[in-house]
Copies of this chain bind each other. A is one copy, B any other.
Amino acid sequence: MDKMNLTMLTDFYELTMANGYLQNGLKDKIAYFDMFFRKVPDNGGFAIMAGVEQLIQYLKNLSFDDEDIEYLQSKKLFSEEFLLYLKDFKFSCDVWAVPEGTPIFPNEPVITVSGPVIEAQFIETMVLLTINHQSLIATKSNRIVRAAQGRDVMEFGSRRAQGYDGAIYGARAAYIGGCVGTACTIAERDFDIPVIGTMAHSWIQMFSTELEAFRAYAMVYPENCTFLVDTYNVLKSGIPNAIKVFNEEIVPRGFRPKGIRIDSGDITYLSKEARRMLDEAGFQDCRIVASNSLDEFIIRDILMQGAQVDLFGVGERLITSKSEPVFGGVYKLVAVEKNGEIVPKIKLSENVGKITNPGFKNTWRLFDKETGKAIADVLTTNEETIDENKPYELFDPEYTWKRKTVTNFYAKRLLTKIFDKGTCVYESPKLKVIKSYCKEQIDTLWDEVKRFENPHKYYVDLSKPLWEMKERLLQEYSVK
């Protein structure tokens, strides 16, 4: 998985445009692109950045091999000059990214790319595909993990993922978002994400009786006994048989963890009854695992009803972000260089929400020095800095009379340089580090922003110079 040449996983128009730029003498024209998104999935208050490590791998391996060139040649659409250019292609852009695990908000750049327009344009499809997918799953995972209120959540969705990478990188993103592990074996081998798994219904069915099946499992894994108890009847058969085997000599007395898993029926009722039966039998610390079509809403509801679940196994609704399976990141031209000067560009739209923030920018997050909480994000032009020693006036870019002056804050730049003229200058942290950074950063958000429904809208404001630049361009480009 180290080497990943997905160069031809690109929308065809990236190639027609590339050849077009070359033919129009724009090969060395420097362009600036931003990736940003417009709406948090599930109407949540924030999303979580993920996928930067895979984006880096892609950019490091970006090259056109003979097979690619031959294929393109066969299209009889591209100039000989262009095919030669691709043969010697070397990525030379600057790239900035918001680090993985960072909470991110609509309309702020999460990736910025600058460099020769052919290159900066060409990578669009893979930038979006990579960041959209993993950010989607990390964001959903975090919702589910927060619903579980400190109980463990495992990712169980490989069989329902949208393709192989959907399962593998989905498990990675779910771990960043807060899952404690996965059922996807390859994700432990390659990313060191803790993996668990014990038995399916078929294991039970392979033996003459459920009791015999549990016993056979306990013989092989005396220290890894989580029995699936719903093949025949949870309360009349599964739990009594599990207790019987827990009481036999096979399972070392006092050994932890022991567990049972319920995969169907009413989890609230069954888990309460199961808890009572296990407690009465002296297995107060036998963990109850539940795993049937769960998501953040069902988990929240059954916990409110007193469900006795210690670990949630979440499958299809996590690995596909079922309730909203698209992270709508876009990649837009924001500036070009002309005679060494950076000229901002804007894209208009009849839909006001689709108008872009122009220019080469920085994103800053302001934190309250006293509480440590995030106050707002501010987009500025690239030349600006925010002076922490002076009061800073925020204003709403739409309702400009809404103003707020912040003091006693510190400001953090969100975008980190990951490529400098095509050379990678950033080392991805270990996944565990990303995961705890994510938790830490989410702790800087107010609870109001974390509500599942109708969360408080976190401020993403424009600096005065950026706002003025945007207004000027709107005047200039709008068709009368």
Q: A-side interface residues toward B, CB under 8 Å?
A: 6, 8-17, 19-21, 23-24, 26, 29, 31, 33, 67-68, 71, 77, 117, 121, 124-125, 128-129, 132-133, 136-137, 156, 158-170, 183-186, 188-189, 195-203, 205-206, 216-217, 219-221, 224, 230-233, 236-237, 264-265, 316-317, 320-322, 325-329, 331-333, 336, 345, 347-351, 354, 477-479
**Of the candidates B77, B137, B265, which one forms a contact with A351 in the assembled complex, judged by CB atoms under 8 Å apart?**
B265
Q: How far is the CA of A220 from the CA of B478 in the complex (A)?
A: 28
**Of the candidates B162, B198, B202, which one forms a contact with A332 in the assembled complex, judged by CB atoms under 8 Å apart?**
B202
Q: Which of A11, A162, A206, A326 has the most chain B CB atoms inside 10 A of its CB?
A: A162
Closest B residue, CB atoms, query A234? B350
Q: How far is the CA of A205 from the CA of B163 in the complex (A)?
A: 35
Find out whether the CB atom of B265 lies under 8 angstroms from the CB atom of A347. no
Nearest-Cβ distance from residue A161 to partner chain B, whole angstroms: 6
Chain B residues near A165: list those with CB within 8 A. Answer: 162-166
Chain B residues near A9: list those with CB within 8 A. Answer: 158, 164, 167-168, 184-186
Chain B residues near A159: list those with CB within 8 A. Answer: 11, 124-125, 128-129, 132, 329, 331
Find out whether the CB atom of B160 lies under 8 angstroms from the CB atom of A327. yes
Q: How far is the CA of A265 from the CA of B349 in the complex (A)?
A: 8
Q: Would A200 and B124 be within 8 Å (CB), given that A184-B9, A206-B26 are in contact? A: yes
Q: Which of A16, A132, A328 has the most chain B CB atoms inside 10 A of its CB?
A: A16
Find out whether the CB atom of A264 lies under 8 angstroms from the CB atom of B349. yes
Nearest-Cβ distance from residue A235 to partner chain B, whole angstroms: 9
Find out whether the CB atom of A325 lies under 8 angstroms from the CB atom of B162. yes
Chain B residues near A317: list those with CB within 8 A. Answer: 326
Find out whether the CB atom of B185 lies under 8 angstroms from the CB atom of A162. no
Find out whether the CB atom of A205 lies under 8 angstroms from the CB atom of B347. yes
Find out whether the CB atom of B347 lies under 8 angstroms from the CB atom of A231. yes
Find out whether the CB atom of A203 lies under 8 angstroms from the CB atom of B20. yes
Q: How far is the CA of A136 from the CA of B183 in the complex (A)?
A: 22
Nearest-Cβ distance from residue A221 to partner chain B, whole angstroms: 7
Closest B residue, CB atoms, query A183? B11
Find out whether the CB atom of B124 lies under 8 angstroms from the CB atom of A231. no
Closest B residue, CB atoms, query A165? B163
Find out whether the CB atom of B326 lies under 8 angstroms from the CB atom of A320. yes
Nearest-Cβ distance from residue A69 to partner chain B, whole angstroms: 11
Find out whether the CB atom of A161 lies under 8 angstroms from the CB atom of B158. no
- Contacts A11-B156, A12-B183, A264-B351 aside, 15 further interface pairs with beta carbons under 8 A come to A9-B164, A10-B158, A10-B185, A11-B158, A11-B197, A12-B185, A19-B220, A20-B217, A23-B219, A129-B160, A133-B161, A160-B326, A163-B163, A165-B165, A232-B479
Chain B residues near A201: list those with CB within 8 A. Answer: 332-333, 347
Find out whether the CB atom of A12 lies under 8 angstroms from the CB atom of B224. no
Find out whether the CB atom of B479 lies under 8 angstroms from the CB atom of A237. yes
Nearest-Cβ distance from residue A32 to partner chain B, whole angstroms: 10
**Of the candidates B17, B156, B162, B217, which one forms a contact with A162 in the assembled complex, judged by CB atoms under 8 Å apart?**
B162
**Of the candidates B160, B188, B264, which one forms a contact with A350 in the assembled complex, judged by CB atoms under 8 Å apart?**
B264
Find out whether the CB atom of A166 lies under 8 angstroms from the CB atom of B163. yes
Find out whether the CB atom of B163 lies under 8 angstroms from the CB atom of A13. no
Find out whether the CB atom of B24 lies under 8 angstroms from the CB atom of A220. yes
Find out whether the CB atom of A326 lies under 8 angstroms from the CB atom of B322. yes
Find out whether the CB atom of B23 lies under 8 angstroms from the CB atom of A220. yes
The 3 closest A-B pairs by CB, nearest first: A12-B197, A163-B165, A13-B197
Closest B residue, CB atoms, query A216? B24
Q: How far is the CA of A28 from the CA of B347 in the complex (A)?
A: 65
Nearest-Cβ distance from residue A473 to partner chain B, whole angstroms: 11
Chain B residues near A71: list those with CB within 8 A. Answer: 188-189
Q: How far is the CA of A136 from the CA of B319 in the complex (A)?
A: 15
Closest B residue, CB atoms, query A14? B197
Closest B residue, CB atoms, query A233? B479
Q: How far is the CA of A320 from the CA of B67 in the complex (A)?
A: 29
Nearest-Cβ distance from residue A343 to partner chain B, whole angstroms: 11
Chain B residues near A26: list those with CB within 8 A. Answer: 206
Chain B residues near A21: list those with CB within 8 A. Answer: 206
Find out whether the CB atom of B220 lies under 8 angstroms from the CB atom of A166. no
Chain B residues near A125: list those with CB within 8 A. Answer: 158-159
